[in-house]
Structure 1
Amino acid sequence: MQEYDVIIIGAGPGGLTAALYASRANLQVLILDRGIYGGQMNNTAEVENYPGFDSILGPDLSEKMYHSATQFGAQYQYGTVTAIEDHQTYKLVKTSDEEFKAGTIVIATGSEYKKIGVPGENEYSGKGVSYCAVCDGAFFKGEDVVVIGGGDSAVEEGVYLTQLAKSVTIIHRRDQLRAQPILQKRAFANDKINFIWNADVQAISGEDNKVTGVQYRDKVSGEQKQIAASGVFIYVGIQPNTEMFRDLPILDDAGWIITDERMQTPVPGIFAVGDVRKKDLRQITTAVGDGGLAGQHAYDYLQTLTD
């Protein structure tokens, strides 16, 4: 069984930064990921809000972060983690193929936006379909956009988009919003926001590799309709990738990992960073900050095992 000082589960920006800090402290580091390094950055056409770059392609930023993270000896390996066992003085990481031992663990498995599952959603992801207004709103300055959803995130992000877009139309499957009253009040008072109620989204249409509109069915009349739009922002929920950690006492009721300001979970020696944490802002920059803290405090924790 291979042994490491630190095993990092997930190779997104948070995990890669943790690997950089931990390996720079001369620790033996293994990064495990079930896919390509970079995580959701690889699905981002352009990143315009990462310091040091006016604009950079998501895959290019992933490549740069990977080379930075591995320059001090951190190893990268494909692996689907199925469980972590806490043996106090060491942790056992189980994958679908093998097992590893480590003094400490950093979980960086991220989260996933729930999809509506209609034609065009996957095809135009990153080409007009987005799940993050803060990330992609600037690409639609002066354009007409659609927001799908009726909860807090949908309404809040819809209001945010009015600072950039020409108009924002919120499409909701019910006849009233589920968002907090204060958020609803702001949305109804905003002249740039329109509403389509009782709408069942059928498809996202496009041409020339970009979104052109949304097709939906009026649930009251049964009529098929379409609205033109350059961008579609989908907010029907987000879920953490934590199913494999259910046996550890580190999750809240919704499955998010709970940490303190040092990125330490309730289990000593297990840290968590990035979008898998219960947090407000899920961005590359915040994941990188989390990763730096976790990498440093993983080193600090290992020192306590030898004292």
Structure 2
Amino acid sequence: MQSQPAFLKGLLPANGESNNASPFSVMVRKEVADQVRSWRFIILAGLILVTFLGSLYVSLTNIGRATANPQDPDRLFLYLKLLTITDGSLPPFHVFIGFLGPLLGIALGFDAINSEQSNGTLIRLMAQPIYRDSLLNAKFTASLIVVSILFFSLSLLMIGGGLITTGVKMEPSEFIRIMCFTALSVIYIAFWLNLSILLSVKFRQTATSALTAIAIWLFFTVFYQILLRIVVSAFLPDPGTLSQEQVASYNGAIITIMRLVPSQLYTDATTTLLMPSVRSLGPLTMEQMAGAIPSPLSIRESLLVVWPQVSGLIAATVVCFALSYYLFMRREIRT
């Protein structure tokens, strides 16, 4: 009997193994194993771990000074402070995630489909008794599982480090906020993962899909804000000639344009979740500020504030996945 091809090992049951496992679950397990063993994931995960440990060390070093400030309404949320305070030497951890998270998503998905086709394994894999969409679903699900385990493990490591170092009891609201922040980070990376999978379906060369994904990331991270400033300075009238209502209207329009960027949506949402005293993500009028008492919001109120940002990230993720699904289902894989 001939031995199985290398790319089919793990997809077909071995001798004596139960045949009850679905092809989808078997492919997910194989993809998870391949992702965890890949050097690109090891390097990026190690980089994220190093930045996490550096940010955590800076936070623990400055936690006493941050919680002793009576002017800070968030001073009592010690574990949230571990994710937000800094002395200027290193940015907070959520800022690192906003920068490194897209790279992790791109690295896990830029060759999801085109590498299978360039290696000649895609047509042989589709000759097996599995649905075509199961392959695409397995690629996304496996990468999402790997990212979720990584970030939830880092969150629990941060909580454990804070408990050991400070000995302060964690409030349930802090735990919920940290878990919401972790889930939001996974959704943010899932958008870039789906975008890279879409490019891997669209382009046949892995180098082309990787460079296109990185170019999109650089545009939204660096050049989008520069272009926006140039356009605003060219077309915005002199602020000295505008009334307060007109200035507020222009500021609202600029903020709306900025929120077309996924990183801005992620930054707005994480800021609100990790800083309970943040009550609004837009400009406030003097009437709205009059009589306001600086006090933290409940977790329900913070979630209501960030729900538009979370909905935007989820919608962008679903759109990218739907486009990749549509293109892959109509793609000719025999050539």
TM-score by length of 2: 0.23
TM-score by length of 1: 0.24
Between structures 1 and 2, the one with greater helix share = 2
